[in-house]
Amino acid sequence: MIFFSDLDGTFLTSRKEAPEGNLAALDAIYEAGAQFVPCTGRSLTAIPKVLLKHPAARYAVSANGATVTDLSTGKAIHRCDLGHERTRMLLQFAEGRDVTFDLFADGHVFEHRKTYDRLAEFADDPYQLELMRSIRTPFDGETEAFMTTLEHIERISYFWYDPADCAALLEAVQQVPDISVVRSVSNSIEISDARATKGEALSWLCSHLGISRADAVAFGDNINDIPMIEAAGTGVAVANAEDETKGAADAVCGTNNNAGVGAFIMQLLAE
């Protein structure tokens, strides 16, 4: 059996912490000879170390499925990059709009200092703001020039606070070929290669490991988790998930703040 879980809003509490009940479930997964895979929109380096270093976790899916990493070596074993050409097109759509332009690349997140210094205007949740500041590396100068220093651009995201900017961006990005557009926060959209979804990453890793998708269990709360929930043999939404995500799931567990993922895993392992 193999378990995939989204992090923010699912495995982690609203304070961005891993509750004891979920950590105990990881111990039980390891003892049962199963595997746990963090499957997140975060960059690899933004995944909590307590998860990356746990013996139940041998692989991690990051950047909404753009990258699958073998944690024993730290090397990517599967990539679906957004790439430089499409990223330049997406950068043009941000110009003249009061939005962030977040570059997920090479396992990190990069943000121009002019918006990094204003992140509090785009995140009203203090824990979300703390996370955004902690995982982003600010840069100076021209964004397009900075992009040339990056090897693998995995995805980008825009944050806005004017809904008119959201509507304009959603219309504009339709010009970009072969992309996936999802969200995990209400005032943001996340753009990746069309093949870079959590569901595709789950399917690829199961095939790579010779594990049937019927033996995969996936947990999520938001729109970007739906492909993963649908790809798994058992798709589970946490009780605090969006209605659309619950509608795609086979089951609903407890909330993220009550270690719902851990309780569901312990029940499955007991059965």
pLDDT of residue 58: 98
Helix (H, G, I), strand (E, B) or coil at 164: helix
pLDDT of residue 43: 97
pLDDT of residue 217: 98
Q: Is 236 left (phi over 0), alpha (psi -120 to 50) or beta?
A: beta
Token pair in block for residue 131: 């996370």
Which H helix or E strand runs over 258? none
pLDDT of residue 183: 83
What CATH number belongs to 84-193?
Answer: 3.30.1240.10
User: What is d(CA 102, CA 266) in angstroms, rounded to the nearest whole number?
Assistant: 37
The DSSP string of 56-105 is T--EEEEGGGTEEEETTTTEEEEE----HHHHHHHHHHHTTSS---EEEE
Q: Determine how β-strand 153-159 pairs with β-strand 216-220.
A: unpaired
The DSSP string of 95-133 is TTSS---EEEETTEEEEEHHHHTTGGGT--SHHHHHHHH
Domain covering 2-80+196-270, topology:
Rossmann fold (3.40.50)
Which residues of the chain are in CATH 3.40.50.1000 domains?
2-80+196-270
Q: Tell me the pLDDT of the chain (271 aa) as tens digits.
A: 999 999 999 999 999 999 999 999 999 999 999 999 999 999 999 999 999 999 999 999 999 999 999 999 999 999 999 999 999 999 999 999 999 999 999 999 999 999 999 999 999 899 999 999 999 999 999 999 999 999 999 999 999 989 899 999 999 999 999 999 988 788 999 999 999 999 999 999 999 999 999 999 999 999 999 999 999 999 999 999 999 999 999 999 999 999 999 999 999 999 8
Which residues of the chain are in CATH 3.30.1240.10 domains?
84-193
User: What is d(CA 29, CA 57) in angstroms, rounded to the nearest whole number?
Assistant: 9
Strand order in the sheet with 251-253: 35-38, 2-5, 216-220, 234-238, 251-253
Token pair in block for residue 138: 């600010």
